[in-house]
Structure 1
Amino acid sequence: MPEIRRLPEDLVNRIAAGEVVERPASALKELVENAIDSGASRVAVKIAEGGLARIEVTDDGCGMTPADMALALERHATSKLPESLIGEEGAIERVVSLGFRGEALPSIASVARLTLESRPQGEAEGWKCVVDHGELREEGPAALPPGTRVRVENLFGNVPARRKFLRTARSEYAACHDVVRRLAMARPDIAFIFEHGERRILSLQAGQPLTGRVSEIVARELAANGVEIDLERGAMRLTGIAGLPTYNRGVADHQYLFVNGRPVKDRLLSGAVRGAYADMLARDRHAVLALFIELPAEDVDVNVHPAKTEVRFRDAAAVRGFIVSGLRQALATGDKRSAQAPDAAAMGRWQSEPAGEAAEGERSSASALQSIFSGRDWSRSQSGVREASQAWRGYEREVMAAPQGRAEEAAPLPEDAAEYPLGIARGQVANTYIVAEAADGLVLVDQHAAHERLVLERLRAAGAGDSVARAQALLIPEVVELEEAACDRLEEAAEKLGDLGLAIERFGPAAMLVRSVPHSLRKSDPRKLLQDIADDLAQHGEALLLGEKLDLVLATMACHGSVRAGRVLSVAEMNALLREMERTPRSGQCNHGRPTWVKLKMEDVEKLFGRH
């Protein structure tokens, strides 16, 4: 049997680093959490080359003495578990700080060059320790304001097997940016500064209201397109801001969830959000929100994941139910821009007879009609018809809405109508559905869903041919402001998008310049188009080849270029749409899997009237 041996200390630290430090963003998360737990009112973060070259976190917290710094660089040493609780059962569950295991600093120091400088509040000078991949290289006095500064350089420099699996500097920067955004969102009472290289990305003042901090970080328009949430149920409290169903995104990366101030990515919470919006959003759209749930520390286990990004609830069903009902209540009653209840007056007309003058008119109409058919006095009957007709028109205006359908004069079916499976257009209902008469029945077509499929097939054909000839150049190029990460994704795909007729180029850190769009999309909104394309590129990840990503993006582009529900079409336009549907493959379903048309056979129509 092989001999059992203790592992060397440096190997133990590297194993721990594998759990805690997966990439620059995870090291940054640990350092910023330590700064928050130190009682800081201001946290400054500087990174270089996406954190691969340097990460620096400075705070104005309580600081550490030289003895504390030495202990902080040892494994399983922490200041976040009070001595009175050590040894007690369930002590860890009562810790309310962001971190407590005491592995972050020694783990990072084992795979990078770490410089730790700190000065306690009230002390004249500070102290510095330099640890290079587990080896203490330097220590001594340091000049700095009260607080702590941690610098991490050359991450995984001595672990080439780990470093080669890191992504590009741009991708690592995006992950670091996301970490700072989430932690800054959770603590609006703390000022945050985030710099990448020589450029300042975030500058957030302390003391902001929660919704103001979230809107400044996520999107400025969220405040105007969201509802505030502040609900309590027993010992649980739910706060935050939830975007209206009409304000949505193509991916779920703008859903920020926090448990007791800790950013988490939890399936239970994400599922609760989907459940709350289930009947208000399309399946391929996602809500924009930031939710903060607070509950007793003993009711949630935050130590189920080394990076503490997942949690486990003692009563998961209660938490889910609270989130679903809280969101639905806020969206339904907290703001009438969303999910309005049916109009009470309109509903009342289904339950009661009209009163007042309208009822009087109806009674006079009924009596006049009775006199018509009684045959007593024909001349008086003619007068009664006029009176009844006038009374009926007044009553009709009073209680009946304007018709939703429109039609033009019917023409006889052409001799070759049998060759048209989708028939000849007869009219439009609710400015959304085309009504057509086929040789064997009645056809209803969803004009938006159908045209969406047609545009998609055109775009695919353009991508295989001379798409430049089909591009529509903009008279004045349009500048579209987006998040920096979204601009990065679009810039990487710019050449392939250009092949499809969408010519874009970078216009500063957080903007793209649109020079042309595919001819089929000439009437679309460039800003919404680019935002959805960037979302699609993010959703399908880096594992897919660019060509595969763009094939999925084409569906989004087609949606922007299609005829919208609510647009009035002439009969000629309706027929043109029907004929193109008949020529286009896969036109029976839209890009989202829903049917584009349904047919009611004549025998089915006859059954409805009992004629079969």
Structure 2
Amino acid sequence: MANIRVMDPSLANQIAAGEVVERPASVVKELVENALDAQATQIDIEVREGGLQSIRVADNGDGMDEEDAILCFERHATSKIKDQRDLFRIRTLGFRGEALPSIAAVAKIELQTKGKTVAGGIRVCVESGKLVCKEPIARNQGTDITVRDLFYNTPARLKYVKSLQTEFHHISDYVSRMAILHPGVQFRLYHQERLVFQTPGDGQFLHVMAAVYGNEAAKKMIAIQWSNEEYKVTGCIGAPEFNRASRQHMNLYVNGRSIRNFAIQNGILRAYHTRLPIHRYPIVALQIEMDPVLVDPNVHPNKTEVRFSEEGDVVHAITSAVSQALEQKAWIPQADLTKGKGMFLQTNIGHAPGEPRHSPIRTSQQAWTAEQLYGRPKDDREETMQQQSRSVLEQDLKAADTSAVAVIAEEKSGLEQPKEPKDSGTLRLQAIAQVLGMYIVAQDDQAMYIIDQHAAHERVLFETFTKKMQQKGVLKLPLLVPYSYEVRIQDLQLLKEHTDTFEQIGIEFECFGGNSVLVRTVPTIWEGLETQQLVQDTFDELLVQGYMKQPLERIEERIIMKSCKAAIKANRWLSMPEMQALCDQLSRLDNPFSCPHGRPVIIRLTTHELEKQFKRIQ
């Protein structure tokens, strides 16, 4: 007796449906893509119970005649692919003819449609993949599809469905992504008969971004128009201050198709390098257009994963486009005073009745005394503590190589006057005061600025160290006593293969019998850090992941660490020349707006905003 037999068609359809219809959002995706392929300019999506009870997608697209309305439920029936050559030049969202048959295999479908060349419409009903009704109807051009009781005949699939709120979240996320890509299409999304999202469909890209992310985020978007011979990148990127906790808001599209690609996302993050806080991600909406021959969307049934013939070139194009856009704009966060309850300053907070009050503000007109600082007469012990604190400050700054930046020094020691800031068109700040031992208040002719002194000094040191490294290359620091490491025999060969890469970042090592490795040099930029542990971490990165970060990225991480350790800390009171020197140093930086960790350095408060708060204007 034969063990191999032909599978029942209904069972085969249910198995195939499992690849295409993973959850209710998959149904919405397939139906919306069909509507877009039909040149619809208005798409309504109505969802009940997270999509499990019903999903309705109505559009005003081209519609279908009776013959097409029947054929569209046949497996692999498509109007998009005619021969093998078309398979490698796909420009439509749907093309395999699996969407409607797969949905019909696990749900009940009612289709109403009318083509633009026929007099009347048609209504078709399909259950479990079988045609159950067909009748003529009167309706306008377009298509209206309702999917009911999803997974009703495959109850085992229901246990993998999440909560109704989670399922609807996936639906709304997809709809918003498609709305961003198609600003000329009006999208309306309903849940339980309530309108929850809509776009105007007026073709204005920023109007869609405002509908998805809000007006404030839309105002902070910067448009991108970038191209070379092979790729064209368009769309917008958000200001670093409008960041999110996940990659979900990095909207990427290739030839009109929404995709998820980890390599491209990392390329965008490299462009935002040191402008974003750690573990924060930008709002991005970017479309990359290329020859369809260079991209294959037919690698997964859901078509969100694509394969590039030259992925490195695609990533480089995206990174270049985003980098150029960021470099053209000064990203200074605007102070938002509207979220608080007012600008009321209570000056006696933290003081006992009758105790002298002092302001935690240092200005150029103030000669600070212990009484002003501590609210009591100065004694010898306090004088000694202040001298020790200043001595420690000088030692820290010498270790940070502040001779190169001339930021902080003894107030009466003949501070080297900073050179005139370059005419960058961004910052020309006059230092006014220091507050709370942490922040410098400065101004120009248009606004007031609050500067985080640690973040500012950290940025100055970072760019100074980086430029020194670029000018002199990665210098190697010989070790008086080489570091010895034990590795697995199978890992030893992998280390040998990457000897040149390690040397590029200043690490020289040699095998020393058995499975021992001797490290003889480390990068000079690591001096003063835990170099032995850093070498171990570098080895582990290669051995665990099978690859290493780019040498410059590896070095840069250590520069950031060194800059952070060397920068002036909170509660270090600065003289006016010291504050002004730091402001002048900022004006000469390539990026004075964020520290190497991505935190803001400067916050801007305009004259207009101040006048509003003090009710000078309405």
TM range (shorter): 0.5 to 0.7
Matched, 1:232 2:227: yes
Q: Show the counterpart of 1:266.
A: 261
Once the two structures are superposed, what CA deviation does each residue of 1:219-257 show, in whole Å capped at 9, x if it has no partner? 221232121111111131111111112221222222111
Q: Distance in 2 between matches of 1:221 and 1:566?
A: 33
Aligned identity (percent) is 35
CA contact (8 A) 2:437 2:573 kept: no
Contact 1:47 1:196 in 2 (8 A): yes
1:48 Cα deviation after fit: 0.8
Contact 1:302 1:311 in 2 (8 A): yes
Paired AA for residue 316 in structure 1: E
Instruction: Point out where structure 1 has 5 or more consecutive residues left out of the alignment.
Output: 340-401, 435-444, 449-564, 572-593, 595-612
- The answer on whether the counterparts of 1:431 and 1:566 sit within 8 Å (CA) in structure 2 is no
Q: Distance in 2 between matches of 1:267 and 1:73?
A: 35
List alignment gaps of at least 5 residues for structure 2. Answer: 334-362, 371-377, 397-407, 409-433, 439-451, 456-567, 575-596, 598-618
Residues 215 and 223 of structure 1 are in contact (CA less than 8 Å); yes or no, is this contact kept in structure 2?
A: yes
- The 5 A counterparts of 1:190-205 are 190-205=185-200
Task: Say what the alpha-carbon RMSD is for the aligned residues.
Answer: 3.7
CA offsets 1:292-328 (integer angstroms, 9 cap, x no match): 1111111111111210101111111111111111111
Give secondary structure in 1 for the equivalent of 2:88: helix
Is the alpha carbon distance of 1:446 and 1:67 closer, same or farther for their aligned partners in structure 2, counting shifts above 3 Å?
same
Secondary structure of 2:188's aligned partner: strand
Distance in 1 separating the partners of 2:180 and 2:260:
15
1:176 and 2:166 equivalent? Answer: no
- Superposed CA offset, 1:584-604 (max 9, x none): xxxxxxxxxx9xxxxxxxxxx
Report deviation, 1:135: 2.6
Aligned-partner Cα distance in 2 for 1:227–1:567: 34
Q: Distance in 2 between matches of 1:408 and 1:18?
A: 76
Q: Distance in 2 between matches of 1:111 and 1:406?
A: 80
State the secondary structure of the residue aligned to 2:208: helix
1:122 Cα shift? 3.6
- Deviation at residue 143 of structure 1 after TM alignment: 2.7
Equivalent-residue separation in structure 1 for 2:367 and 2:257 (angstroms) = 56
Deviations 1:516-547 (A, max 9, x none): xxxxxxxxxxxxxxxxxxxxxxxxxxxxxxxx
SS in 1 for 2:325: helix
**Displacement after TM superposition at 1:75 (Å):** 0.5
Residue correspondence of structure 1 range 184-583 to structure 2 within 5 A: 184-333=179-328, 335-337=329-331, 409=370, 412-413=380-381
Distance in 2 (alpha carbons) for counterparts of 1:50 and 1:260: 30
Give the structure with the higher percent helix.
1
Which residue identity is paired with 1:107? S
**SS of residue paired to 1:127:** strand
Deviation of the 1:145 alpha carbon:
1.1
Aligned to 1:57: 57
* Preserved CA contact (<8 Å) 1:109 1:131: yes
Q: Is the 8 A contact 2:176 2:212 kept in 1?
A: yes
Indicate if the aligned counterparts of 2:43 and 2:185 stay in contact, CA closer than 8 A: yes
Q: Report the alpha carbon displacement of residue 73 of structure 1 after superposing the two structures with TM.
A: 0.3
Residue 11 and residue 568 in structure 1: after superposition, are their counterparts in 2 closer, same or farther (change >3 A)? same
AA of the residue aligned to 1:98: L
Decide whether aligned partners of structure 1 residues 412 and 49 sit closer, same or farther in structure 2, where only a CA change above 3 A counts.
Answer: farther
Distance 1:138 1:406 in 2: 92
**Secondary structure at the residue paired with 1:95?**
coil
**Are 1:141 and 2:136 an aligned pair?**
yes
Higher relative contact order (CA 8 A, sep 6+): 2
Counterpart secondary structure, 1:303: coil
- Helix, strand or coil for the counterpart of 1:91? helix
The offset of 1:431, in angstroms, is 6.0
1:252-280 superposed Cα distances (whole Å, 9 cap, x missing partner): 22211111111111112111111111221
Cα displacement (A) at 1:42: 1.2
Letter of the aligned partner of 1:202 in structure 2? F
Counterparts of 2:379 and 2:453 in 1: how far apart (Å)? 22
Kindly state the Cα deviation for residue 432 of structure 1 after the two structures are TM-superposed.
8.2
1:62–1:120 contact (8 Å) kept in structure 2:
yes
TM-score (normalised: structure 1) = 0.56
Offset at 1:24?
0.3
Match for 2:106 among 107, 111, 135? Answer: 111
TM-score by length of 2: 0.56
Residue in 2 that maps onto 1:66: 66
Contact conserved, 1:229 with 1:330, CA < 8 A, in 2?
yes
Contact 2:252 2:286 (C-alpha < 8 Å) held by counterparts = yes
Give the conservation status (yes or no) of the 8 Å contact 1:59–1:147: yes
Q: 1:424 to 1:35 in 2, by over 3 A?
A: same
Check if 1:156 corresponds to 2:151. yes
Instruction: Please tell me whether residue 32 in structure 1 is matched to residue 32 in structure 2.
Output: yes
Task: Name the counterpart of 1:99.
Answer: 94
Native 8 Å contact 2:50 2:164 kept in 1: yes
CA distance in 2, matches of 1:269, 1:408: 56
Partner of 2:162: 167
- Read off the aligned partner of 1:254 and give its amino acid letter: H
Equivalent position of 2:7 in the other structure: 7
Q: 1:115 to 1:305 in 2, by over 3 A?
A: same
How far the C-alpha of 1:95 sits from its partner, in A, is: 1.7
Distance 1:152 1:123 in 2: 25
Distance in 2 of aligned mates of 1:15 and 1:433: 66
* CA displacement at 1:411 relative to structure 2: 5.4
CA distance in 1, matches of 2:48, 2:94: 25
